[in-house]
Each structure stands twice: as structure tokens, then as C-alpha cells.
Structure 1
Amino acid sequence: MELGALRSGLRAAIASFRQPATRRFPVSQPQFRRLASTTTDQPLGDIRAAPPIDFSNRRDAAAEETAEDDDMEGGRSIAAYAAMMDRLRIIPASPSYFTGKPDFTDDLLNLENLLRKYQTLPVLPTGHAPRIAWKTLAQYKMGSNEPVKAARYTKILQVLQRLNYIHPNLMPDEVAYALRRYMRDVQPFHNQPKPGVVDEYGRARGVGRRKSSNAVAYLVEGEGECLINGKPLTQAFGRLHDRESALWALKVTERMDKYNVWCVARGGGTTGQADAIALAVSKALMVHEPLLKPALRRAGVVTRDPRRVERKKPGKLKARKMPAWVKR
């Protein structure tokens, strides 16, 4: 009896494990469909998009609305709130603040904008622009207090030179103001030498220098006589080359027999004194006849020769000559 009951119980347990599990609270089919459906029988109303953002307003527009709410509630006024934000918020004066060299970047951009704006204006021919001495790199760095390199400062100079070629009669005021900002305080090109004059005796005076020699020449219309330190030319210079060098300005212009020359030379040797006299005679001749300057410039007697004797160095026989090399 007990064995039969035990056998039937085991069979019931095994059968329960083989059958699938059933829901304790089954859901009806219509209710399941209603819950799974995404549509609703009742409308939710019209959906409206948010208004577009107006970027033309100030950045603290939202803060002003908050300030208005606070003002309505008895808080601070809008003006006081704006003043406080201006004190607390630090805004750079230029977008170039975020670059390594803000002042240099602003200067270059401003000049390029001017050039782009007035690049169609008439310009002067090449070589006829007014001569201007621009600020050096050291002077610009001192004013901007920024470590600007020479290559970058050259870009500013190139734009300035291009703006300087605009015709002076058509140059706008803002371009002229921009150019004056980069000029040196002292313009050496404005210091023109005083023109020479012929005195009451008909004499023109000229001064010349060469190496350690200097000379003063007086030129007057005459028959071609020449005195150097109170001596004739043949006695003052023994070499033929020095004689020709002293009166080279008169020879190339074919004025040997039209002027008398009286010179005083000091210092140096005969070669230096002869070249100094040539420069002095050339300057005196240009006082009498200014139109001879191009011919004298081609002859090479208008500007001073800056060459000097090179000094001797230690360990060398002369300025550059080395002693003979000995192996042993």
C-alpha cells in the first residue's frame, strides 16, 4: 500500500518537470495587443518647435532675463547686474589675444586690409616713391614689447613700401596715418645738404677726403692754372697717375683750360691727397655747373671712396699674408 503510493508520487513529480511552466496570472489577448500598440486613441495636441536662436543679441541675454526675474522679485536691477558682469568678465580687446604676438598680428592685418582696400589707386613709377626711413626691428620690438623675428617684420615693411607707392595726391588719410606710425622720429633723407654758392670773387669751394687725407679746393674761371699747397702740379706730385687723378674731374668734362684750381691738402700720402683733391675739385665744379653731375658720377668723382688700409693681424706678416709653413 505504501509502496504504491510512493510510486505514484514519483511519477507525478517526474511529469511535472517535463511539462512547460504556465503563467500564474495569464494576460488576455486583447489586453496584450492594447499594451503593445504604439498608437493612441486620444490626440496629444499640436507639437510646436522652439523659436530660433537670435545670435545678434548680446551674449548675456539669458542673464538679462534672469536679472529681470530677480528684479520683479525684488532683486538687483538690470543695470547693476550688467555693471557687475562687466567688472567680473574679462574680454580680450582683439581676437589676436589668443596668438603668440597679438600686437604684431593686429598691425600686419590692419596694413593688409588697407592694401586690399586701396590697391586699385594709381601708383608712382618704380624708384620714384618718397624715401622714408622706417623703424628698425629693435625700435619696433621696443614699442610692441614682443619677440618679433626679422623675417616677420620684413612682411610689415613690404606692405608699407607698397602703400608708400600710392600717388601722394590720391593717398587717403588713413593710409598716411598708418605710414607715419612706422616712420622714424628723425628722417635722415630730409636733411639735404646746403647747395654751394659762388662768392663775390667768383670762387667755388669744395671739400674732399680719402683715407687719412683731406683737401680743400677753390675753383675760379681762368686759363687752366693749378696750384697745390702753393706748388705747381708737376712739383706737388711726381707720379703721372697722381697728377691725372687730382684733375680727373676737369679732364672728363673737358674743362681743363676753363678754370683755375687752388688746393690745400693735408695728411696721408700722395695717393690719398690726389684722390681727396679730385673729390674736392668735383664738388667745386658742380657749384659752377650743376648739370655736370651725371657725367661726374659716371666718372666716379662724386662720392667718397670709403676704403681704408686693413690693419695687420697678430701671427701674420701683413694684413692677410701668412708666414711660410714649415713641416718640421
Structure 2
Amino acid sequence: MARAEFSRSLRVAVECLPNSPRPRPARTMRCAHRSLYPPTSRCISTTPSRFAELTETPPEKFAAAPEINFSKEGEDDGGKPGSRLLRTLRVVPASPSYFSAKPTFTDDFIHLSALLRKVATLPTIPTYEAPKVAWKTIDQYRIMTNEPVKTQRFHKMMHILRRLNCIHPSLMPDEVVQAMKRYKKDSQPGDIVPAPGVVDEWGRAKGVGRRKTSSAVAWLVEGEGEVLINGKSLPQYFGRLHHRESAVWALKATSRLDKYNVFGLVSGGGSTGQAEALTLAVAKALLVHEPALKPALRRAGCVTRDPRKVERKKAGHVKARKMPTWVKR
């Protein structure tokens, strides 16, 4: 009986208490605190851009709608010019995507997609045979259009441009060429062409090579295989056999040691840098005499600026190409 009376009195006391709101847990309070600062979406580009390229890119002028000519309207009904036009005015935007978040990018993407569908049946060439093009980076495109274009959408547009660039050059339509000019950089890889080497009246061909802080100039003339570097013979100037082989490696790799005389001037750096600079200088001078030797010199590693490739070629080491893990064997 005492227990029943105690429970009844406790129930009455609870019912008499005022209804108070339940306290929020800590997690809910943290969520409410975060809602005060909504997350901002950022477009991150993985392609580094130089400051000069970004500052030299001018933004394009965007026209919302064509200009309205008020001078010819309203004169027939005796009113002021443009009075009738103002009563029935309805401005039509110049771009169908004007009311979207990124109208310029949307128009560009739609235009390129329609152009790709139009020329999809034209024959193409492999990607490695397509002309080398330096496309604008995403930062340059954002500055040009003044729109926050996302990286994923920009890459989709670049995919269409690379597909258009793979069309056979002899069948490339003019409208495709004009459309791709908008997305190319001002300076292209093929714009700067070095002056072709010539053989002077004394039968000499000149080649210049650099390695780190060392620079070398070599003159090649037909002879019996004499080598003079800074007025000294090859064994006198380079004490190590490794440096002597590096200096005339282009002639040794092509079996031309007894056919040409070499006169070289080297400066700066150490002995290893000077010998590797001579490797490139002699190879360039040899290409002036015999341009057909370029594949052989490329296989020997003489036309590259990376000395590690030259060392692997001289040692006879050929690195095996690793197959991707997704390729089925």
C-alpha cells in the first residue's frame, strides 16, 4: 500500500510541473553553428599558370542584348521617336543562356558539341600524330569569360577540342580552325623555329650545347679525327676516359670518329658539365653535315639535354616499359 501511494503522489507531482523545452544535444548545436557559415564551393585547377599569362589575358565583352534604335519608331503616329516601341518593349537576350549561371561557357560548350556532331564522320589521325597545340589554362579561360567555371566542365570542353584537333589536317574544315583559335594560347610550340644550320665557306658546321653552368661551342669539319678543345688535345684537356668519351660520343655512336675534325670552346662549370655540353654541341654540328643521322643520334641519346639518358645509352641499359595493371595479359 505504501508503495502504491508513493507512486501515485509522484505521478501527480510530475503532472503539475510546467512543460519545459528539452535541451538540444551538443551535436545539434554544432550543426546549428555550422549553418551560420555555409560552405563555399571553390574551383581548384591542377594546371599551374604563370602570373604573366594571367595578367595579359583580357576579359571578353559580353553583350546582354542588341542595341535598340529609338530613332525610327513612333514617327508614323505623330509621337516622339521611340514612343510606340516603349509601349510594346520586350528585350530579348542575345544569348539563349543569358539567365544561366555561366552563359559564355554554356554557349561555348554547346557550340563545340554541335560542331563535333557535324564533323564526326571525318577521318581522324592518332593523338600522337596530331598537331601540337598549347591550349589555354582554366585560369586564363576564367579571366577571359569572367565566370567561375568548374574544373570538371572545363576538362569536358578540352576533351572536345582535342577530338577536333585529331581531324585529318588535309580535311580540316575552316569553321573548326576558326573555332579552335579562341581556346589557343597566343604563343604556340611551332611558332619559334630555330635558324637552320649551314656549312660555311670553309666547310665548318657550328653547334652550341649547354649543361648546368657549362656552355660549349663546337665546329665540325671533314678531316682525320683530330679533336682540339680550348687549344688542347682531347687527352690533355680531359684526364678521365669517361669525359673523353662523352665529348665525342656523337661521333662514336655513328661511327664517324675518323671522318670529322672537332674544334671546341668550353667554359664554366666542371669537367663533367663541359664534356656533356660538348656532347650536345658536337651532335648539333654533325646534324648540319648529315641530317639523316638524327634517328641514330636520338637513339644514342645525343639530341637530348638529359645526361642520364646518354649514360644509359652508353652503358647499353634499356629500361623495360612497365605494363599497366589494368591490361589483361
- TM-score category, normalised to shorter length: 0.5 to 0.7
In structure 2, how many angstroms separate the alpha carbons of the residues matched to 1:218 and 1:247? Answer: 12
Equivalent position of 2:293 in the other structure: 292
**Runs of 4+ in structure 1 displaced over 6 angstroms?**
none
Equivalent position of 2:168 in the other structure: 167
Deviations 1:209-240 (A, max 9, x none): 01110000000000001011111111111111
Gaps of 5+ in 1: 1-73, 308-328
Equivalent position of 1:102 in the other structure: 103
* CA gap 1:127/1:255 in 2 versus in 1, 3 angstroms: same
Equivalent position of 1:198 in the other structure: 199
Gaps of 5+ in 2: 1-76, 309-329
- Give, in angstroms, the shift of residue 260 of structure 1: 0.4
SS at match of 1:292: helix
- Say if 1:133 and 1:189, in contact at 8 Å, map to a contact too: no
SS at match of 1:200: coil
Amino acid at match of 1:297: R
The number of equivalent residue pairs is 231
Equivalent position of 2:87 in the other structure: 84
Equivalent position of 1:116 in the other structure: 117
SS at match of 1:146: coil
- Give, in angstroms, the shift of residue 286 of structure 1: 0.5
**Structure of larger gyration radius:** 1
1:245 has 2:246 as partner: yes
Deviations 1:81-101 (A, max 9, x none): 455332xx4443334233321
In structure 2, how many angstroms separate the alpha carbons of the residues matched to 1:226 and 1:172? Answer: 54
SS at match of 1:96: coil
RMSD between aligned residues: 2.3
- Say if 2:225 and 2:261, in contact at 8 Å, map to a contact too: yes
SS at match of 1:273: helix
- Give, in angstroms, the shift of residue 184 of structure 1: 2.0
The TM-score with structure 1 as length reference comes to 0.65
Amino acid at match of 1:110: H
- Give, in angstroms, the shift of residue 80 of structure 1: 5.3
Deviations 1:23-58 (A, max 9, x none): xxxxxxxxxxxxxxxxxxxxxxxxxxxxxxxxxxxx
Deviations 1:295-314 (A, max 9, x none): 1111111122389xxxxxxx
- Say if 1:267 and 1:273, in contact at 8 Å, map to a contact too: yes
* CA gap 1:128/1:298 in 2 versus in 1, 3 angstroms: same
In structure 2, how many angstroms separate the alpha carbons of the residues matched to 1:109 and 1:155? Answer: 12
In structure 1, how many angstroms separate the alpha carbons of the residues matched to 2:173 and 2:120? Answer: 12
In structure 2, how many angstroms separate the alpha carbons of the residues matched to 1:222 and 1:139? Answer: 54
Deviations 1:71-128 (A, max 9, x none): xxx9x9xx95455332xx4443334233321111111111011101110012234422
SS at match of 2:181: helix
- Say if 2:276 and 2:307, in contact at 8 Å, map to a contact too: no
Equivalent position of 1:259 in the other structure: 260
Greater mean deviation of Cα atoms: 175-184 or 244-253:
175-184
In structure 1, how many angstroms separate the alpha carbons of the residues matched to 2:172 and 2:115? Answer: 11
- Say if 1:212 and 1:267, in contact at 8 Å, map to a contact too: yes
Amino acid at match of 1:116: R
